[in-house]
């Protein structure tokens, strides 16, 4: 079995590299979005907790909407992300926003 190298694929730019990586490793883009989601939510939560205002649901909601925007931008280039990954990111953002609203109404 012959593997295609990046020189043979003749890719240019960041979008070409992401398409090449995603064609070789299909789980790369969803794993990247999960890592971005976790990193942003932890940064927001720990940053606000430092001043005594830490709210994990607000951090999850903000990170969820950021990942939705990032995933939507990734759909502009064909082959980087599929519709299932976009659907999951939207569901995560909506669920975290609903949890935030439930917690705000409870308090």
CB 29 within 8 A of CB 57: no
What is the domain count for the chain?
1
Q: Name the pLDDT band for 1 (thresholds 50, 70, 90).
A: low
**Does 11 reside within a domain?**
no
Q: What is the pLDDT of residues 39-89, one digit of tens each?
A: 999 999 999 998 888 889 999 999 999 999 999 998 888 878 888 999 999
Q: Whole domain around residue 76: which residue ranges?
A: 26-106
pLDDT single digits (tens) 19-35: 888 888 889 999 999 99
Full-model pTM: 0.84
The residues near 29 (Cβ < 8 Å, ≥ 6 apart) are: 18, 22, 74, 80, 81, 85
Residue 32 domain-assigned (yes or no): yes
């Amino acid at each position: 079995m012959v593997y295609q190298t990046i020189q043979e694929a003749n890719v240019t730019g960041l979008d070409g590299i992401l398409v090449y990586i995603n064609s070789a490793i299909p789980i790369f883009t969803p794993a990247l979005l999960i890592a971005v989601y976790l990193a942003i939510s932890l940064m927001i939560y720990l940053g606000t907790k430092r001043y005594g205002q830490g709210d994990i649901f607000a951090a999850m909601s903000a990170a969820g909407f950021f990942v939705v925007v990032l995933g939507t931008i990734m759909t502009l280039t064909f082959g980087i992300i599929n519709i299932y990954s976009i659907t999951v990111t939207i569901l995560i953002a909506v669920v975290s926003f609903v949890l935030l609203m439930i917690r705000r109404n409870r308090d």
